[in-house]
Structure 1
Amino acid sequence: MSNADTVIAALRSGYDDLAEVVEKFSDAQLTGPSGAAEWDISQVLSHLGSGAEIMTSTVRAALDGNPALGGDYNQSVWDRWNAMTPKERADGFLEKNETLIALFESLDATQREELRIDLGYLPEPADVATVARMRLNEFALHSWDVRAGLDEKATVAPEAVVELLGGPNNLIGWISKPDALNGSFSVIQVSTSDPAAELTLRLNDPVSIDNAPADNADGTLTLPAEAWLRLLAGRLRPQYTPETVKTTGAASLETLRQVFAGY
């Protein structure tokens, strides 16, 4: 299968698994805490539902050869979702994400290779694999937010981890906060498991990551791949950190949590 095929399949798997959980939520659970510090579970579902609605319109616009609807439309969607009750957010999450994933699944082989989608905030329109992977990244991490509200030992779905671990690192400079380094610089050897990977994390300004082992590392970080993805997204607070996470030398979880404080 192509990259688009495997990413879309991971989206489907992740949605189906989370939908089974969401369908059983009580009103009390929907207003309970999530892994996202400032949102309850219904607000996480609102974010995923409104995002799916906006992306559906964006993909359809690309298929029709039209520009994306843009800022005013997006704001109207967010306003509507913000005004929903928790139960309406849960129901809307199920409907809108099913619609988006079914739309991705409906694309034929040529469209999956050749269609270009203008998201409005990238330098140029992106291919289906890139757009679907961006959605998968958001969906997988916010799915964890939902599950972590119920279980502090929740993990990111394995199918998503495989697709996201080897993805491009060009957003690291945007999501990291190098000011937390106070002018220091270090090279960290990152070793992940499930799946295994060797990465180089350069704590500098800007912060960068190479998908290759480090030379002359100042410290090491060993952890499950899903925990590495959560660390980068500000989701490896102490209560959510597996016991298998190990550091040596200049690698400090306290510092890393400040550099990757979330977005």
Structure 2
Amino acid sequence: MTTLAARTIDALRHEHDDLAAVVAAFTDAELTGPSGASEWSAAQVLSHLGSGSEIGLAGLQVALGLREPLDDSFNPSVWARWDAMGPDEQRSEYLRHNLTMVEAYEDLSADQRESLQVPVPYLPAPISVATYAGLRLSEATHHGWDARVAMDRGAALLDRSTAVLLEHLAGDLGFLLGFIGKADRIADDVVLSLGDSGYSIAITDTVSLASSADEPTATFSGPVEAALRLMVGRLGPAYTPAAVTVTGNVTLDELRSAFPGL
């Protein structure tokens, strides 16, 4: 059985290869046109992913002792440089920087993947490679969808990424749901079974994902990737598969309200 770190790095590789093939075909109009992120063009999505890959790689290099710890000016300087790029450069630089980051993860030894701890400025303690790569996979998966849906309104998350991210969200990345989810927007406590995936979303005084579905109060039926998109605010009516239904003590519209996204 592969490790979570290995599965996450493998998913990052597939996300990169898939999105690289998609965005390489974008015309200038498509590159500057709308994306699944309401306030960003497709090029701006790629800029966000590219700057994130540069920042993420720098953090990994710090953990490996390849560079000095980053100061508070590092991230803003990266964002400013990317914001100043034109759309075509944002695409080409995303492809270059993201590939470099993926290859850096792939180059880690088995021991480094399991023992290395990576500092993250907004977290109280360093985190494992699996969790650090999981944070990056979440960005790559959901913003990758933002770019793909610009060309294909029926775009879905990649199966490999969906499976790995659900595993992360039911584990060490569960704090993300507590931050993203707005439990106070749902009147009653909810245990939402995600079809036959074995996972459930619990909405009480906070939001969490469990790798079990005991005593559900409601059921989400449909592709599990759609349930993951729901959790990050990407299951608006225009992007909801026809097979999706919600039954029980909560409605789909109420769930959309509880997961407004970032």
How far is the alpha carbon of 1:65 from its aligned partner?
6.9
Aligned to 2:254: 255
How far is the alpha carbon of 1:248 from its aligned partner?
1.2
**TM-score, normalised to structure 2's length?**
0.93
Structure 2 Cα separation of the partners of residues 5 and 166 of structure 1: 13
Judged with a 3 Å threshold, the aligned counterparts in structure 2 of structure 1 residues 245 and 86 are, in CA distance, closer, same or farther, namely: same
| Letter of the 1:187 counterpart | V
Asked if structure 2 preserves the Cα contact closer than 8 Å seen for 1:189 and 1:198, the reply is no
Matches within 5 A, 1:174-185: 174-181=179-186, 184-185=187-188
Q: Describe the SS at the equivalent of 1:209.
A: strand
Structure 2 Cα separation of the partners of residues 130 and 67 of structure 1: 22
| Letter of the 1:202 counterpart | A
Matched, 1:170 2:170: no
Q: Describe the SS at the equivalent of 1:189.
A: strand
Which runs of 5 or more structure 2 residues have no equivalent in the other structure? none
Structure 2 Cα separation of the partners of residues 58 and 160 of structure 1: 22
Which runs of 5 or more structure 1 residues have no equivalent in the other structure? none
Give me the identity figure in percent. 42
Structure 1 Cα separation of the partners of residues 35 and 69 of structure 2: 31
| Letter of the 2:42 counterpart | I
Structure 1 Cα separation of the partners of residues 8 and 66 of structure 2: 24
Aligned to 2:217: 218
Structure 1 Cα separation of the partners of residues 205 and 92 of structure 2: 43
Structure 2 Cα separation of the partners of residues 218 and 6 of structure 1: 32
Matches within 5 A, 1:50-69: 50-64=51-65, 68-69=69-70
How far is the alpha carbon of 1:67 from its aligned partner?
5.7
Structure 2 Cα separation of the partners of residues 228 and 39 of structure 1: 23
Aligned to 1:227: 226
| Letter of the 2:206 counterpart | P
Matches within 5 A, 1:127-146: 127-146=128-147
**TM-score, normalised to structure 1's length?**
0.93
Structure 2 Cα separation of the partners of residues 102 and 65 of structure 1: 15
Q: Describe the SS at the equivalent of 2:221.
A: strand
Structure 2 Cα separation of the partners of residues 33 and 236 of structure 1: 17
Structure 1 Cα separation of the partners of residues 5 and 67 of structure 2: 22
How far is the alpha carbon of 1:180 from its aligned partner?
2.2
Matches within 5 A, 1:56-95: 56-64=57-65, 68-95=69-96
How far is the alpha carbon of 1:128 from its aligned partner?
0.9
Q: Describe the SS at the equivalent of 1:198.
A: coil
RMSD of Structure 2 on Structure 1 (CA): 1.5
Structure 1 Cα separation of the partners of residues 203 and 110 of structure 2: 40
Task: Report Cα offsets for 1:84-132 as digits up to 9, x if no partner.
Answer: 1101100110010011001111111111111111011122111111111
How far is the alpha carbon of 1:223 from its aligned partner?
2.2
Q: Describe the SS at the equivalent of 1:171.
A: helix
Matched, 1:41 2:42: yes
How far is the alpha carbon of 1:21 from its aligned partner?
1.5
Task: Report Cα offsets for 1:56-85 as digits up to 9, x if no partner.
Answer: 111111101766414311000001111111
Structure 2 Cα separation of the partners of residues 207 and 3 of structure 1: 23
Aligned to 1:199: 199
Matched, 1:187 2:166: no
Structure 2 Cα separation of the partners of residues 4 and 201 of structure 1: 24
Task: Report Cα offsets for 1:180-239 as digits up to 9, x if no partner.
Answer: 23xx123233233xxx42333332322233221131x33222221110110000000001
Structure 2 Cα separation of the partners of residues 116 and 206 of structure 1: 28
How many residues get paired? Answer: 257
Structure 1 Cα separation of the partners of residues 121 and 211 of structure 2: 28
| Letter of the 1:177 counterpart | K
Asked if structure 2 preserves the Cα contact closer than 8 Å seen for 1:165 and 1:225, the reply is no
How far is the alpha carbon of 1:246 from its aligned partner?
1.3
